[in-house]
Structure 1
Amino acid sequence: MDFKEYIVDKAPPSAFYIPDFITVEEEQHLIHQVYAAPKPKWKELSHRRLQNWGGLPHPRGMVAEHIPAWLQHHMDSIAELGAFGDKQPNHVLVNEYLAGQGIMPHVDGPMFYPTITTISLSGHTLLDLYTPRPPDTQETPNTNSQDTETHTSSAFEKRYVGSLFLAPRSLLILQDDAYTTYLHGITEVGEDVVSRDILNLPSIPHIPGDTVQRDTRISLTIRHVPKVLKNKVWLGGSRH
C-alpha cells in the first residue's frame, strides 16, 4: 500500500486518510486489550483518560519500556507504509474519549519525529484544524506526553480551517505543515453534523446534513520519539 495515494487534497499539507485500515476483528481485539490493561496503566485527565506504552516521553529523553505484541503488530504495519521514513515507531498514546469529551487545539511539539499516525477504534470523531497565530504570538509547542490543552476554544474560531472525519478502523497520518504548523483539536460535543467543512468528505460513509452521534472512541496515536535514554535513570536527577 502506498499511503500517499490517500492524501486529503483539501487539507493542509500533508494529511492522509485511510479508511478501514484494520479489520473489525482487529478492532475488537485492540479494544479488548486496551481495557484489559492494568488499572495503574490509566492516567485520568479532566476531559479524558489515557495510557502510555513504550515509555513516558520527556524533553530530556524517554526511558524505553516494553511494548506488547498487540500494539507492536500495528506499529510494524504503519512502519511498513514508510510513514516514518527510515525510523521505527516506538511509542503509543492510547486516549479514551467518552461522548462529549475532546481536547483543546494544540501542537504536539518537538519531542516527536514530525509525523503523527492515529488509528481510531469504536467511535468516530471530527479532528478540527486551525491556522497558527502570527509569529509574535505563536503558541508554545506542547512539550509533554499528554498533549496539554492550551488557550480557550473561542480564540480559535476565526482560525478554523476545516475538520477531518475519523471513522472507526481508519488511519490518519499527519506530516509536514499539518504536523508542525497547524493545530489540531476535538470539540466537546455529543453529535456531529456532517458539512462541507469536512476536508475528507469523499472518503467517509456520510453526506452533508447527516447527524452522527458520538460514542466512546479509543485512539491509538503511534509516534517515534527520537531521544531515548539508554539507561534507566531518574529524570529528576541522578540515581544513587
Structure 2
Amino acid sequence: MAEATLRSSSVHGPSGSPRVLEDKFSDNVVRKAPSTALYFPNFLSEAEANLLWKQVYAAPKPKWTQLSARRLQQWGGIPQEKGMVLEKLPSWLQQVADRLSAIDLFETVRPNHVLVNEYEAGQGIMPHTDGPLYYPVVCTVNLGSHTLLDFTPRRSASDDSEENGGGCGGCMKHVDGDGNFSLLLEPCSLSVVAADLYTDYLHGIAERAQDDLQGMTVCNLDMCSSSVRNQEDPIVLQRSTRLSLTIRHVLKTVRLPLRLGLSR
C-alpha cells in the first residue's frame, strides 16, 4: 500500500483574532466554551494518523525525554526566555505545520515548534498554562486514544506558568467550582485554543485509565462522533496509548551563526 501524505487545505484568508477565527471557522467553534476554542473532529484521515504515529516511533531514541508521568519529543528547538535556537522541522511535521498555516490559524506567523507527548492509560499532566513564550494560539493533533482536556479559570492573572516540556514544577493551583469544563479530544481530531482561553485558563489531563462523562461539562460533546454521542448514559470511555502533537509558534528565536572553514 502506498504511503499516505498529509493533504493540504485550499482555504485562505485572514485570521488570528477571536472574532475572525470564530467567523472563519464557524462550523468548528465550540460554542458552549466560555472563550475561543475550535474543534475539527476529522482533521486527519486514518491513513494520515497512522503515518504520523509511525514517524513518531521511528525517531531516534535520544529524541525522547522521559518525565515522571509521560515522555515527550521536542522538534524545532527548545523554547527558552532568551530565545529558541531554531531548528528545521522534519518533513513529516512540516507538512502538518504547513497545513495549519494554509488555513491561517496562526495569522501572520508560522508554527515553528512541535511538542510530541506520549500518554499511556492512567497518565496525565497537571493544570498549567503554556506561558508567554508562544503566540497565543495552540493547535493539538490527537493520535491513538481519546482524552479529556480539562480547563479551569486561573486563580490570579499575576500567576504565570509555562509547561515547556520539562515537567510542571511551576504549575498553578486551580480554583474549584464554576467555570470548569472539558473538551473531548478524539483520535484524528484537531483542537485549537486561543485568546482568553489560552491566557486566562489552566488546562490539564487527569490521571485516570477511563473517563466517565456523566455529570461532566464536556463542551464539544455535540461535535464528536456519533459513536460517542449515541451511547446511552453513562458514557464511559477507556483510554489507551495516546500521542498529542502540540503545534505552536515560539515568539523569540535565534539562529546560530554559520561558521565557514575549519577551526585552527
Same fold (TM over 0.5): yes
AA aligned to 1:187 is A
Higher RCO (CA 8 Å, separation ≥ 6 residues)? 1
Q: How much is the aligned-residue C-alpha RMSD, in angstroms?
A: 2.0
Answering whether residue 105 of structure 2 is matched by residue 86 of structure 1, we say no
Deviation larger for 159-168 or 11-20: 159-168
Distance 1:92 1:12 in 2: 26
1:68-217 maps to which residues of 2 (within 5 A)?
68-135=90-157, 138-142=158-162, 144-146=164-166, 148=168, 150=170, 156-158=175-177, 161-195=180-214, 197-205=217-225, 206-207=228-229, 208-217=233-242
TM-score normalized by the length of structure 1? 0.90
1:232 shift after superposition: 5.7
What residue is the counterpart of 1:220 in the other structure? 245
Is contact 1:127–1:165 with CA below 8 Å preserved after alignment? Answer: yes
Distance 2:106 2:254 in 1: 20
AA aligned to 1:141 is S
From 75, 81, 85, the equivalent of 1:59 is 81
Distance 1:214 1:23 in 2: 20
Q: Which 4+ stretches in 1 moved above 6 angstroms?
A: none
The alignment-based identity, stated in percent, is 44
AA aligned to 2:236 is T
Number of aligned positions between the proteins = 230
Is contact 1:105–1:149 with CA below 8 Å preserved after alignment? Answer: no
1:12 shift after superposition: 2.3
TM-score normalized by the length of structure 2? 0.82
Distance 1:219 1:149, change over 3 A: farther
Q: Mark the structure with the bigger radius of gyration.
A: 2
1:226 shift after superposition: 1.5
CA offsets 1:118-161 (integer angstroms, 9 cap, x no match): 000011000000011145xx4322174436254587x5433651
- The unaligned stretches of length 5 or more in structure 1 are 234-240
- The unaligned stretches of length 5 or more in structure 2 are 1-10, 12-23, 259-264
